[in-house]
A and B are shown apart, each in its own frame.
Chain A
Amino acid sequence: MGEKIVEVKNLFFQYERKYVLENINISIEKGAFLGLVGPNGSGKSTLLKCLLGLLKPQKGTIHLFGEDIHQFNDWHKIGYVSQKANSFNSSFPATVFEVVASGLTPKLGLFKKMKKADREKVMEAIRAVGMEKAVHQNIGELSGGQQQRVFIARALVSEPKLLILDEPTVGVDSQTVNHFYQLLHHLNKELEITLILVTHDIGAITDKVTHVACLNKQLYFHGNKDEFERLKETELTSLYGHPVQLITHDHE
């Protein structure tokens, strides 16, 4: 058994009166690539925000890298691309370089400035998402998909051990998406980075993920990919409320 990167036990969360997450139990081991699926409003983003400490669950415990989330301090070990990344203030006067470099903030620590090696890391992350031509352009001048790539670079720059991605490829063209999934595969296999990816397009990544979790307020399924593939389509249909296509892919 590998090291536990994320361990969620009996988690309940409510924004207002109703629980949007009920009795969630998840454990993710080092090196896993978890695909998190579920219909709109099923609580996927909410669950991720709980893991990131942005929301405080009413009940239950979360452990990150073996440490209780209340004691956890190594936030630079976690990279995050939020679902709403491109709803930021789009006229913000910052260059791609500045935005990606801001991902290094916690790693550098207070009062410290970037060194040459840090700049090189920033450039590396920008190259990894293929945005090197726009380094000195303002982020607001880029298209939505290009901005999304920059946010992915920002999450990669601190060399996280756990990468949390909430529908990161929305608005990104299919060629870049493929490139991106290859990059994730590489990060996962070669660098042993643990990944959590929310997507509505599980069919596109079934050959990359190691585990799948199906969420709709409760966790309907959480297991490795083989178990998932054996799941009857009817069970997923009852989860989504309508038939879903799984492995076969007809768009593109």
Chain B
Amino acid sequence: MFSSILQFEFLQNAFLSGILIGFIAPLLGVFVVVRRLSLIADALSHVTLAGIAGGLFLSSKISFFSSLNPIYVGMGFSVLGSLVIEKLRAFYKFYAELAIPIIMSAGIGFSVVFISLADGFNTDLFNYLFGSVSAVSRTDLYIITGVAALVILLIVLFYKELFLLSFDEEYASALGLPAKGLHLLFILTVALVISVSMRVVGILLVSSLMTLPVAASIRIATGFKKTIFLSVIIGEASVLIGLVLSYYLDIAPGGTIVILEVLALIFSIILSKARRGKI
């Protein structure tokens, strides 16, 4: 396999993208999970799907857009969707979670309409839904690299502030932190990560890449930094092993990666129970 990685550009693209996504998705995911925003990641992935389907529709039907990479439309939709979610959450103050089913169904609605306009399912769309090793292009890799740099910059620069915001939003505001601005920056970054990660793992599974490794580490790690560290390890390992397996067994990488993460999760639950002396 490693000789084929050197040989085939598409494998390089897939693996480099995988390494980046396996790192940034759990890294950001820790903040998403502890802030109880996991479902927002899900809602955004469906909005991204609407964008992708719209992009595929445009590029197949209108010659002007024929070279348009649908990932850009997906990113646009995801970012827009995150802004709408924030507006809705503020509007339904005491029922903030209502924003999620609203956005989710809007996303699916648009997706279905665009898919039927583009004459139904095709391989492209299938790849976006379930992820693909062979479909990651050089451009995709460049976009993922850009977003990864953004995420790492965000975390390195604002680690303290994000920690405080996640742990205790009121206290963050009381200390004079621009909590709203920081939250917005955070949600926008989440939207970008969701939209670029689906190239490899697929839209349906992209939010699991942010949440499952965190779910596995949160009960066994002590402290926030260690939780981040362990989540990244689990995420990275699942992505890399998943990609290798999916290449050899010729199965969709998204599903393989998620199954590995579920295994890690089960293992961690057993470990944490054993530690507490319940097994």
Interface residues of A (CB under 8 A from B): 52-54, 73, 75-76, 78, 80, 82, 88-89, 91-95, 97-99, 102-106, 108, 110-111, 136-138, 154
* Cross-interface CB contact of A75 among B164, B175, B223, cutoff 8 Å: B175
Question: Which 10 pairs across A and B sit closest by C-beta, in order of nearness?
Answer: A75-B176, A95-B223, A93-B227, A94-B224, A106-B175, A52-B174, A102-B164, A105-B160, A80-B174, A105-B164
Task: Name the interface size band of chain B.
Answer: 20 to 34
Cβ B222 vs Cβ A110 within 8 A: no
**Chain B, 221-234, contact with A by CB distance < 8 Å: what is the 0/1 string?**
11111110000000
Within the assembled complex, what's the spacing in Å between the Cα atoms of A154 and B53?
Answer: 49
CB neighbours of B176 from chain A (8 A):
53, 73, 75-76, 106
State which of B106-114, B132-140, B165-173 sits at the interface with chain A. Answer: B165-173
**Chain B, 152-168, contact with A by CB distance < 8 Å: what is the 0/1 string?**
00000110110110111
Given contacts A92-B34, A93-B227, A94-B223, contact A102 B163 (CB under 8 A): yes
CB neighbours of B218 from chain A (8 A):
91, 93
CB neighbours of B175 from chain A (8 A):
75-76, 80, 103, 105-106
Q: Which residue of A lies closest to B220 (CB)?
A: A93
Q: List 21 A-B contacts (CB under 8 A).
A: A75-B174, A75-B176, A88-B167, A88-B168, A92-B224, A93-B218, A93-B221, A93-B224, A93-B227, A94-B224, A95-B223, A102-B167, A104-B160, A105-B160, A105-B175, A106-B175, A106-B177, A110-B157, A137-B222, A138-B222, A138-B223
Interface contacts beyond A52-B174, A54-B170: sample of 12 additional A-B pairs, CB < 8 Å, sorted by A = A53-B176, A54-B173, A76-B175, A80-B175, A93-B222, A93-B227, A102-B171, A104-B160, A105-B163, A136-B223, A138-B222, A138-B223
Within the assembled complex, what's the spacing in Å between the Cα atoms of A112 and B75?
Answer: 32
| B275 in contact (CB, < 8 A) | no
Cβ B173 vs Cβ A98 within 8 A: no
Cβ B160 vs Cβ A102 within 8 A: yes
Within the assembled complex, what's the spacing in Å between the Cα atoms of A80 and B172?
Answer: 11
Cβ A95 vs Cβ B222 within 8 A: yes
> How far, in Å, is A65 (CB) from chain B's closest CB?
13
Within the assembled complex, what's the spacing in Å between the Cα atoms of A137 and B218?
Answer: 14
| B36 in contact (CB, < 8 A) | yes
* Cross-interface CB contact of B174 among A54, A88, A99, A104, cutoff 8 Å: A54
Q: Which of B25-40 contact A (CB under 8 A)?
A: 34, 36
Cβ B167 vs Cβ A105 within 8 A: no
Q: Which of A88, A93, A154 has the most CB of B within 10 A?
A: A93
CB neighbours of A99 from chain B (8 A):
167
Within the assembled complex, what's the spacing in Å between the Cα atoms of A137 and B224?
Answer: 11
**Chain B, 33-53, contact with A by CB distance < 8 Å: what is the 0/1 string?**
010100000000000000000
Within the assembled complex, what's the spacing in Å between the Cα atoms of A105 and B164?
Answer: 8
CB neighbours of B166 from chain A (8 A):
92
Cβ B36 vs Cβ A89 within 8 A: yes
> How far, in Å, is B221 (CB) from chain A's closest CB?
6
* Cross-interface CB contact of A53 among B174, B221, B227, cutoff 8 Å: B174
> How far, in Å, is B160 (CB) from chain A's closest CB?
5
CB neighbours of B160 from chain A (8 A):
102, 104-105, 108
* Cross-interface CB contact of B223 among A98, A111, A154, cutoff 8 Å: A98
> How far, in Å, is A188 (CB) from chain B's closest CB?
21
> How far, in Å, is A107 (CB) from chain B's closest CB?
9
